[in-house]
Amino acid sequence: IRAWDRSKPLLFCPAMNTAMWEHPITAQQVDQLKAFGYVEIPCVAKKLVCGDEGLGAMAEVGTI
C-alpha cells in the first residue's frame, strides 16, 4: 500500500477467522486504514473455511 497512488481510491475487503476479526489489534488496523481514507468493504457472517460459523468471511463478489 505504501507505493499506492493516493489519488486513486483503495478498497479493502478483510477476511479472517472470527477470533482474529474480533481481536482489538485488528480493529486498530482497520481504523488506521480508514483514517488514511481507504474504503472498507465489510466482512460477512457465514460458515468460514476453518469450519466455524461467524463474522469474518469476505464479502460476496457482487458486493465487492
Strand partners for 44: 57
**Which of 50, 53, 60, 63 does the annotation list as catalytic?**
50
Catalytic, 50? Answer yes
Q: Which residues contact 17 (CB under 8 A, 6 or more apart)?
A: 48, 50, 52, 56
Q: Is 45 helix (H, G, I), strand (E, B) or coil?
A: strand
* End-to-end CA, the chain: 19
Catalytic residue list: 50
